[in-house]
Chains A and B, each alone.
Chain A
Amino acid sequence: MDTKEKIINSVKEKFGEAVVEISDFRNDLSITIAKDRLIDVAKFLKENPELQFVMCKDVTAIDWATRKNRFTTVYHIYSFKLNFTLRLKVNIEENPPAVESVVSIWPSAEWYERETFDMYGIEFLNHPDLRRMYMPESFEYHPLRKDFPLLGISGSMPLPEKME
């Protein structure tokens, strides 16, 4: 049984109804799961001795703008045992854009989730320190959202006063 089948089978066997979609595009395996089961699936993937996805390489998001569930959060996790990178996806609605934080499972996700919060305004519940990462703390918008203009919103970030 090859690696992908092994992952798919063990996830399907344990979380059959929570698996929304499985796609294998250009040799990248993505598993979309229901929002309320994210923590369970993540814990399983990390702690199952056959899988051991112990490393969270990235957390990011996608803004689909017009889709019903507007945002997707994406987790890239890696197993040293299988030498395999798996993509976990969770679709979340626009109001409120919130999903459970995976920091309790992968501590490295802390800053990734902060970045995603900064850029997309997605709230990670039970995150230990959900502050902005790049933008000034007084900034009110989320720049990677599709409705944010490329050149920003005039006056939203303070500049020092002009001299003379």
Chain B
Amino acid sequence: MGLEAKLTKDGFITTTIDAVIAWARKNSVYPMPMGISCCAIEMIAATDPKYDIARFGSEVMRFTPRQCDLMIVAGTVTYKMAQVVRRIYDQMPEPKWVIAMGACTSSGGMYRSYNVVQGIDQFLPVDVYTAGCPPRPENLLNALMTIQAKIGKTKARDFKDKPMVDLELARN
């Protein structure tokens, strides 16, 4: 293919650091599986061989936020859980992205009620909203591809010296 032919012929390619880093970054997005309710099942289904999220380099679901750069919020977020979700999000290193998976996280969904947050964008910066209740795995993969396209447009210096949120660890 193109790259190999180029390398065997000339032995070098020219590109920019931004392009290489964005390319590497978007093809190894580590998701934080914030599976709170039924959407989590579809999120798990997206990792199985039939849908195979590994095709996009995102098969490594890390169960610690400190190794992740994409939070998939999959499920109903109550006011009590919102504190936890935000706390986990704060522990993820920059740069980081958020998928609001399903109707509940996007808008409260069918839980139009006092205890459910009517959309997680009230306390998280959401990058992609996914429709469905729950969304099919294809829909999640589409959200991931949208995130990849977004990451592909970033420049390395956009995230330079971006501090982590003060975690107030003493509060625990």
Question: Which residues of A approach B to under 8 Å, CB–CB?
Answer: 134-136, 143, 148-153, 157-164
Contact = CB atoms under 8 A, between A and B. Distances in A.
Contact of B114 (A152, A159, A161, A164): A152
Interface residues of B, number: 15
A139 to B, nearest CB: 9
Given A159-B122, A162-B122, A162-B123, A148 B82 contact: no
A143 B114 contact: yes
B115 A163 contact: no
Contact of A143 (B82, B83, B115, B124): B115
Given A157-B79, A159-B79, A160-B82, A151 B112 contact: yes
Interface of B: 79-80, 82-83, 86-87, 112-115, 117, 122-125
Q: A interface, by DSSP: helix, strand, loop or mixed?
A: loop
B86 A160 contact: yes
Given A134-B115, A160-B83, A161-B123, 15 more contacts: A143-B114, A149-B114, A150-B112, A150-B113, A151-B114, A157-B115, A159-B122, A159-B123, A160-B82, A160-B86, A160-B87, A160-B123, A162-B122, A162-B123, A163-B125
